[in-house]
Amino acid sequence: MLVTMKKLLDDAKKNNYAVVAPNAWNEDTIRMSIVAAEQEKAPLILALYPVMANIEDFAQIACKFAEDSKVPVAVHLDHGSQFEEAVRAIRSGYSSIMVDRSQLPYDENVKEVKEIVKIAHSVGVTVEAELGHVGQGKDYTKTRDCGLTNVEEALRFVEETQVDCLAVAIGTSHGVYCGEPKIDFNLLKVLNENIKVPLVLHGSSGTGDENISKCVEYGINKINLFTDLDLAASDMFIEYIKNKSSIRIVEACNILYNGYKEKLIHNIKLVKSNNRV
Ligand SMILES: [Zn+2]
């Protein structure tokens, strides 16, 4: 069934686990994510990063699959960066949107997020925003410490914007890390003690199973995933084509999407969202 992300994350916060939010972009990645979630009896957030597919086209397929699924599924716009994207997502049926203004100064971030929260909440759509900034893995050694979330600001931000969940910067990074991931668990602990809405982790890929588990234990309720799924698919494919002189296209796609699915199942178990439905 199609549900709001707030419903999923509030339960995750209450029971101390996290919900996986894989980036999906077409019918196959949507289907594989739902197969994985149903197999593990886990809630799911299907997240579209808007450069990967058209917002409306994705909604048509994702909402249909979500409605037909045996587990609760939220359809989410990941990293919406413009006002128009948020409105298009709401209009086309997403049950949740991220309004990412984390690169703007605090006051502008609040102003823009607040405006969209008012619109989204009036039609029951969940809103995620980001405070502090999770950067790119290639710049990790230079940027790791610059964007960490400030606790007082985060408290004020949630109060002023009325967001439903908050993405925090605690030392993770998008894509492949250049250098060793260094997570500030103490900061996460303090954020979790003070912030009343569920906390979101971006840049989970490459962070390592042990760190992810600990993040969930310390209060993260949503884990965004893409690069690890992508790499797992690629590894499985490379292994499969070893010593083969040809491969059929359908077979090739099945191998890749299976790699994506297997890694997603691994993460569902890692963040303890299996057997929650
Ligand atoms: Zn992200």
Which stretches within 163-248 are classed as H helix?
185-194, 209-217, 227-241
Please give the Cα distance from 231 to 227 (Å, whole number): 6
Whole-number pLDDT of residue 146: 78
C-alpha 174 – ligand 1 centre gap (Å): 6
C-alpha 203 – ligand 1 centre gap (Å): 6
C-alpha 118 – ligand 1 centre gap (Å): 23
Please give the Cα distance from 79 to 56 (Å, whole number): 16
Q: Which domains does the chain have, with CATH numbers?
A: 5-270 (3.20.20.70)
Which H or E run includes 199? strand 199-201
Q: Please check whether residue 222 is in contact with residue 200, taking contact to mean a CB–CB distance below 8 angstroms.
A: yes
Whole-number pLDDT of residue 178: 87
Averaged pLDDT, groups of 10, the chain, 277 residues long: 98 98 98 98 98 98 98 98 97 98 96 98 98 88 84 98 97 89 96 98 93 97 97 96 92 96 98 98
Tokens standing for residue 33? 């994510």
Please give the Cα distance from 254 to 259 (Å, whole number): 9
Concatenated DSSP letters of 93-141: T-SEEEE--TTS-HHHHHHHHHHHHHHHHHTT-EEEEEES---BGGGHH
Whole-number pLDDT of residue 55: 98
| Mean confidence (pLDDT) of the chain | 96
**Angle (deg, nearest 10), helices 55-68 and 27-39:** 30
**Contacts of range 245-254, beta carbons closer than 8 Å, 24 or more positions apart:** 253/28
Side-by-side strand order, sheet with 126-131? 19-22, 220-225, 199-201, 165-168, 126-131, 96-99, 73-80, 44-48
State the binding site for dihydroxyacetone phosphate: 175, 203-205, 224-227
C-alpha 72 – ligand 1 centre gap (Å): 22
C-alpha 245 – ligand 1 centre gap (Å): 38
Which H or E run includes 166? strand 165-168
Whole-number pLDDT of residue 226: 96
Portion of the chain with pLDDT greater than 70, in percent:
100
Tokens standing for residue 210? 């042990």
State the binding site: 79, 100, 130, 174-175, 202-205, 224-227
Tokens standing for residue 36? 């994985």
For β-strands 199-201 and 165-168, DSSP reports them as parallel
Please give the Cα distance from 42 to 31 (Å, whole number): 14
Kindly report, residue by residue over 21-37, the tens digit of the pLDDT.
999 999 999 999 999 99
Whole-number pLDDT of residue 179: 85
Catalytic residues: 78
Please give the Cα distance from 11 to 269 (Å, whole number): 17
Whole-number pLDDT of residue 138: 86
Kindly report, residue by residue over 96-141, the tens digit of the pLDDT.
999 999 999 999 999 999 999 999 999 999 999 999 999 888 888 7
State the binding site for Zn(2+): 79, 100, 130, 174, 202
Whole-number pLDDT of residue 125: 98
Amino acid letter, residue 70? K
